[in-house]
């Protein structure tokens, strides 16, 4: 495995779009690997499209599914190991992910 995540500055943003029913499982899984996902943000969202399963009557009426959006700023070297671990733990065609470059990451309280 690569060096701990806190030693390598994040250079990409991994986004997971997760069905609401799998929220606790995905968060529990991420908490098991702090060396790969040292922290993350969780937001509520909605998904639409050909691959989205509409689970509830309300979702079927609205034509969109409730989702939990999880974003993780991490080093690119940690993306493949984290995705691999998630696939082994929580394989679901209803969990979508994408990775984009992260131009900068910091904290407003950090010295300049």
Contact between 37 and 74 (Cβ < 8 Å): yes
Closest-CA residue to 13 (of 35, 41, 48)? 41
Count: domains in the chain = 1
Residue 83 belongs to a domain: yes
Contact between 97 and 14 (Cβ < 8 Å): yes
> What's the pLDDT at 96?
93
**Residue that has been written with the tokens 């701990």 in this structure:** 4
What range does the domain containing 96 cover? Answer: 7-101
Q: What is the domain-level CATH number for residue 29?
A: 3.30.70.120
Residue 112 belongs to a domain: no
Span 36-91, pLDDT tens digits: 999 999 999 988 776 777 777 777 777 778 899 999 999 999 999 999 999 999 98
pTM of the model: 0.83
Residue 41 belongs to a domain: yes
Residue 72 belongs to a domain: yes
Residue 62 belongs to a domain: yes
């Amino acid at each position: 495995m690569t060096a701990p995540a806190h030693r390598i500055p994040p250079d990409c943003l991994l986004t997971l779009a997760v069905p609401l029913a799998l929220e606790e499982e995905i968060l529990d899984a991420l908490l098991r690997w702090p060396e790969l996902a040292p922290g993350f943000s969780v937001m509520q969202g909605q998904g639409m499209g050909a691959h989205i399963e509409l689970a509830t009557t309300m979702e079927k009426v609205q034509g969109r599914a409730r989702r939990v959006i999880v974003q993780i700023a991490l080093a690119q070297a940690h993306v493949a190991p984290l995705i691999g671990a998630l696939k082994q733990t929580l394989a679901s065609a209803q969990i979508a992910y994408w990775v984009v470059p992260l131009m900068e990451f910091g904290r407003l309280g950090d010295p300049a």
